[in-house]
């Protein structure tokens, strides 16, 4: 039963020598386990809001892997100023970027807003990573072949993009807010992949254009700190931990999407347990994906053509 719960495992032994990886939210949970694995393969930049926790995680990973190229950088996805500062410093210090893993996220937050006035789930899980990807995309293109990996969730099936109330000011349910943001991850991935392939829908599955791929994934139900904002969920996670993936097990699909050789030319897809997975009809709505892209650009005051 535990083997069934654990799900798929990344079998790739691909090395990342001379390559650079950024992982957001890599100080705990599946992000930390993803960083631990990739640190055995190449250089990893741990991008986190809490520097103290990130340094502790990085120190542990360095000691275990023997790789001193595990570097901590400050990144607060709830503040566009922090995102821009992170990108500016990274671009000044690093000449290449081969893998960007948009892993950080919040879940079940009481109603709150980011520094820029965005509803917290939408702001951190979607808009923060949208802006980060925008700022780093040229470096990814210059370093191609490169990959963008967006950690979404099965919860996207329960999501809707409520353009009339994106920030939950008219009505708010923190469970649904999380679902909406995870759907946004799937739609962002789909539209990004389409644009990277020269706006050709027929090329969506194969990276023929820029040789930068973008894929999304569901890590599974993982025993991690993600549910910390809900007292009930925290206790349920403890009680039913036997039925949940460990962070290491939950990280396997992120690692798979980052390094698996068979995904070299695959883009615009959604994975779970290291294999393609079903996407909800709302997650396949190209018109909604395009509209969300345009609205996101307006909210972030950027031009991304």
From the list 167, 164, 150, the residue with the least C-alpha distance to 279 is 150
From the list 255, 150, 137, 149, the residue with the least C-alpha distance to 196 is 137
| Bond prior to 145 in cis (omega within 30° of 0) | yes
Instruction: Compute the chain's Rg from CA coordinates.
Output: 18
Contacts of residue 6, defined as CB under 8 A and 6 or more positions apart, other chains included, come to 245, 246, 249
Could you tell me how far CA 233 lies from the centroid of its own chain? 22
Residue of 111, 178, 270, 278 marked catalytic: 178
14 CB burial (10 A radius; 0-12, 13-18, 19+): middle
For the stretch 244-248, contacts whose Cβ atoms lie closer than 8 Å and that sit 24 or more positions apart, written own/partner, are 244/5, 245/5, 245/6, 245/7, 245/219, 245/220, 245/221, 246/6, 246/222, 247/28, 247/29, 247/30, 247/32, 247/33, 247/222, 247/223, 248/33
Examine the residue annotation and report whether 172 is marked as an active-site residue of this protein.
no
Report the alpha-carbon distance of residue 32 to residue 44 in Å, rounded.
11
Alpha helices in 66-202 (DSSP H): 80-93, 120-121, 129-142, 174-196
Given 3-state DSSP classes, what are the helix, strand and coil percentages for the chain, each rounded to the nearest 5?
50, 15, 35
Backbone φ and ψ of 200, nearest 5°: -105, 105
Catalytic machinery residues: 178
């Amino acid at each position: 039963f535990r083997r069934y719960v654990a799900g798929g495992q990344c079998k790739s032994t691909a090395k990342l020598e001379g390559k650079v990886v950024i992982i957001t939210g890599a100080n705990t949970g599946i992000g930390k386990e993803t960083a631990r694995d990739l640190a055995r393969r190449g250089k990893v930049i741990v991008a986190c809001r809490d520097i103290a926790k990130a340094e502790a995680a990085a120190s542990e990973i360095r000691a275990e892997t023997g790789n001193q190229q595990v570097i901590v950088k400050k990144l607060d996805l709830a503040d566009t100023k922090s995102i821009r500062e992170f990108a500016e410093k990274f671009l000044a210090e690093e000449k290449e970027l081969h893998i960007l893993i948009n892993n950080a996220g919040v879940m079940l937050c009481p109603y709150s807003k980011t520094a820029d006035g965005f509803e917290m789930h939408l702001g951190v899980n979607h808009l923060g990573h949208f802006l980060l990807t925008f700022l780093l995309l040229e470096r990814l293109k210059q370093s191609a072949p490169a990959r963008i990996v967006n950690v979404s969730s099965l919860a996207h099936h329960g999501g809707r993009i409520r353009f009339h109330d994106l920030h939950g000011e008219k009505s708010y349910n923190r469970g649904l807010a999380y679902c909406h943001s995870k759907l946004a991850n799937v739609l962002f991935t789909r539209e990004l992949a389409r644009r990277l392939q020269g706006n050709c829908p027929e090329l969506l599955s194969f990276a023929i254009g820029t040789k930068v791929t973008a894929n999304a994934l569901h890590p599974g139900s993982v025993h991690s700190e993600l549910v910390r904002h809900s007292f009930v969920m925290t206790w349920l996670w403890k009680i039913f931990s036997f039925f949940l993936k460990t962070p290491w097990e939950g990280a396997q699909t992120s690692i798979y999407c980052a390094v698996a050789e068979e995904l070299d030319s695959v883009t615009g897809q959604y994975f779970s347990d290291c294999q393609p997975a079903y996407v909800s009809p709302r997650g396949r709505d190209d018109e909604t994906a395009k509209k969300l892209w345009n609205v996101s650009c307006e909210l972030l005051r950027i031009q991304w053509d």
